[in-house]
Amino acid sequence: MKAFWREYRENWIAVIALAVVVLVVLAALLAPWITPQDPYDLASLDLMDARKPPGFVGSNGYVHWLGTDAQGRDLLSAIIHGLRISLQMGIAAGLVAMTIGATLGILSAHAGGWVEAAIMRVVDLQLSFPAILLALVLVAVLGQGKSQLVIALVAAQYAYFARTAYGAATAERQKDYVEAAHATPLPSWRVVLRHILPNCLPPLIVVGTVQVANAIALEATLSFLGLGLPPTEPSLGMLIANGFQYMMSGRTWISVYPGIALILLIVAINIVGDQIRDQFNPRLRR
């Protein structure tokens, strides 16, 4: 870990991106305590405070530093809670998709034969479809809600992990230490879990980092289209959609500030993922 951090901090852009991710995660975890308003409590909203510019002092007595939206929500509170929802959806979908995809990819590489052909043809078929199209269909069928959204995101993303795990496990399967493990009286599942899987984790971690950012962007897209979370839960995509109709009237802050927060989070996660990928790439090691 010391060597990893020593190499990582040589890229100051990646260090800044990591600091942004850490700050966003901390803000999301502490959202109920650091935000001046609970955007989920509809009874606390006042329509007289709706669509007010940044710096406006609301009826509750505190300053709306980023203004308010069409429902009178404090936009800063809504953005922080929206980041919390985005991180929950992205991390949950990423972990479940990585578990399912890694299991299928390593199983197909280890089993070979018709099992490998069947699993990987299904994975290749799914990869031929855009993830947003598959997620749209599943959300439209399953309905709105966190569980339904996670299922749609997992179904749209597990194939990337499966293909990555399959490629890594296929390369590891040909090595001498795997042959030596098979020569001992060890069960196949132990060979897979104790020998093949640990050596497949680095590329899976890199893909997982990128796919978390993709899941956040996909969730925001679905919420922007009205197919994500219910209107009572202000995700970033829904906040952007709510302010979109007011862009021409000059009330740009309703959409712009949530959009900036979403872009900063996605870009920061992608930069961190790129740096981790470079450090796990042996060809780039000095």
Average pLDDT, the chain: 87
Pair of tokens at residue 266 = 């996605």
Exposed e or buried b for every residue in 137-148, given b needs 16+ CB within 10 A?
A: ebbeeeebebeb
DSSP bridge partners of 206: none
Model confidence pLDDT, tens digit, residues 37-70: 888 787 778 888 888 889 888 877 888 889 888 8
Supply the angle between the helices 253-280 and 197-224 in degrees, to the nearest 10: 170
Sequence letter at residue 11: N
Confidence of residue 285 (pLDDT cuts 50, 70, 90): low
Q: Mean pLDDT across the stretch 157-177?
A: 88
Q: Report the pLDDT value the prediction gives residue 100, as an integer from 0 to 100.
A: 94
Model confidence pLDDT, tens digit, residues 74-106: 899 999 999 998 899 999 999 999 999 999 998
Element (H, E) at 177: helix 176-183
d(Cα 27, Cα 82) in Å, to the nearest integer? 11
pTM, two decimals, is 0.87
Q: Report the pLDDT value the prediction gives residue 98, as an integer from 0 to 100.
A: 93
Cβ-proximal residues to 8 (8 Å cutoff; 6+ apart), any chain: 14, 15, 18, 275, 276, 279
